Structure 1
């Protein structure tokens, strides 16, 4: 759109600045949603809720006989779906020591969350646990 004036008006300048700020906000939100730990936990939680479980575990990862199926062996991890999403990292997982990971914002690293998410996707695709 061309102006007849040599210099744009104040209103047109403010409009251009507000469009620029809006575009920056949309791009920033897109990158935050793709790379933040909160977004990774939300994606993993949605995938875990849609998974068909066959094993039953208590909150420490021990197999039990009663209750709803709520855990799956992912090879490097044992994912336990419950009120709090947990994963038991095994000793074979990338040279690390066994540990219980609580998959909440600020309690697990984004790298661990991404590894669990990839292992769960592998399990869904291949119908078997990834090798340990």
Structure 2
């Protein structure tokens, strides 16, 4: 109803987080699915807390991660600012199921040090 009345679905808070970023961080899979179905959603913006995908990786929700991995709007490797990548987010939060899923996906290299922090996932785990 709110979206039908012209609310900006990509509105950002003072740290740059969007409704999609909040929904992903709070394990709100039905809200994430709904927002991603909207044609104008900015699917890879999340502000200081990281992308929606990275935030979801930190929750450990396998169903949410699976849905996002299979969504063409999601750039699973995007890193915002000085944040971690999704593999590092899962590692930092000790979400083993998500870690295994991301490693099995093949798009993530645990030795990748291309984030601004110049840390590989192993560094994050230490």
Give the alignment's TM-score, normalised by structure 1. Answer: 0.22
Q: Which has the higher strand share?
A: 1
Q: TM (normalized to structure 2)? A: 0.23
Greater C-alpha radius of gyration: 1
